[in-house]
Structure 1
């Protein structure tokens, strides 16, 4: 009754069976912000279908198919990608609802779903399908509409990404870097359309050039020429990346024995209310008794819940 926010990822039918649906909880506490993330949404024939992010977000929302090369197997999603995006989406919705409550005095229900988040994440492709009927087809290095924003391999085998999203703007920078000013007037490559039409040939020529130097040298050349780029890094590269470290991507998490282990930090910082880990990850049920005592339960009642297996 004193809570500001109720958060759940349990299916609606299960919550309703326990009396934890939005209508009943907000009848008890009209200021409550009721936040729920589901697999497939609040309505429709599959509203109560069980889901993980690899199903609702990755598979059904179209992301896996959009990344599958012709004749290839769908790529496997890395762990919890959809869960992370859905969680951040719900957190943003909760913050907005709390701000609205400051004006209205009333809470409300905030919902999102793994399916909706997946459709939104793939919105660039999905919008093209909605408006133009164009399906999302996977792009390859030799079929991309703009080979100035694509991946290439340096002479030491390391991959990198050119970031020439604005093709005509970045094209002269790339030509300075690869010492091919003649391509400015070459009819095969002079315009974005001609580069798209001759993408395989341009990629072949750039591959030959990039194979002549290691990535460290190319990086310095790109920077001098004003050509935007980024390395393709493994997680092993990332945890050693001085920029990722300086940006606060990692944090030391205290352990019960007084030592610390490295962990991935929250991606959000605050200029005034600085945050840091307050302790180790709790064990399952570690704070259950403490919370129940705060809610007014007596030890005898807590013992009864344990005997019935309701709490660990």
Structure 2
């Protein structure tokens, strides 16, 4: 209903993946032509490309952001369950599936409703908000698990709109190691792994990084500083060694 507030770094990962692909393409080009190239990938460019479908369809009358109450097909939508969780329904064949959905949510009397049974009529008469309200009320009768089971048994695509905490318990994500636990001293914390997997290599274990400043001495040694110079720099506050998180938080 409004522009999405993304999580931090949402576009950085896409940009880095595109940049890697560009570098590999340039390497292939150099192998074939003997001529190198200079590769760039701007954050804005990566974001525009990632939203390519929306970028193209907006000029054909399908602008974003859009309200879930004003969709062209109310059966391609998101709905909140009885236990206040979200599911994503994807039924592009509205006219075929409308009666089936009405049966599942206990509204058989609307299965053959002249205003609701045809997607074109819904759009021509601007009835999408009414239809979505009917669906909202119907879906709110069931828990998310009940909805997923019900639609799966009737061969209709309906999936959970998962939050990060849902993913922590997602068996597909866990078994395939899409996330792995980092063994921090105060207990494990989940972290996504790199999204490309290779048959010949296993997903590396994730290990905690050092504290802020933990590499200061090593870096200074590489730059040619002596042990005495490093110690003096730390004592005068010019550089810092390892710092506990509690100190950084002012505790």
- Where on the TM-score scale, by shorter chain, does this alignment land: which range? 0.7 to 0.9
- What is aligned with 1:235? 164
Change (3 A) 1:242 1:145: same
Deviation at 1:175, TM superposition (A): 4.2
Alignment RMSD (CA, Å):
3.5
**Equivalent position SS for 2:76:** coil
- Does the aligned pair in 1 maintain the 2:103–2:111 contact within 8 Å? no
Q: In the alignment, is residue 200 of structure 1 matched against residue 129 of structure 2?
A: yes
The answer to whether structure 1 residue 191 and structure 2 residue 124 are counterparts is no
Structure 2 counterpart of 1:162, from 89, 99, 103: 89
Residue 201 of structure 1, CA deviation: 1.9
In the other structure, the counterpart of 2:76 is 149
8 Å contact 1:161–1:230 — kept in the other structure?
yes
TM alignment of 1:212-231, pairs within 5 A: 212-231=141-160
Q: Give the match for residue 121 of structure 1.
A: 50
Match of 1:91 in 2: 20
1:102 & 1:291 partners in 2: Cα distance?
A: 38
Aligned partners of 1:125, 1:278: CA distance in 2, in Å? 36
Q: Distance in 2 between matches of 1:261 and 1:161?
A: 28
C-alpha deviation, 1:166, in angstroms: 4.6
The residue that corresponds to 1:269 in the other structure is 197
* TM-score of the pair, normalised by structure 1: 0.60
- Scaled by the length of structure 2, the TM-score of the pair is 0.73
| Length, aligned pairs only | 229
Per the TM alignment, residue 113 of structure 1 is displaced from its structure 2 partner at its CA by 0.7
Alpha-carbon distance in 2 for matches of 1:281, 1:234: 26
Q: Please, which runs of 5 or more residues in structure 1 have no aligned partner?
A: 1-66, 69-73
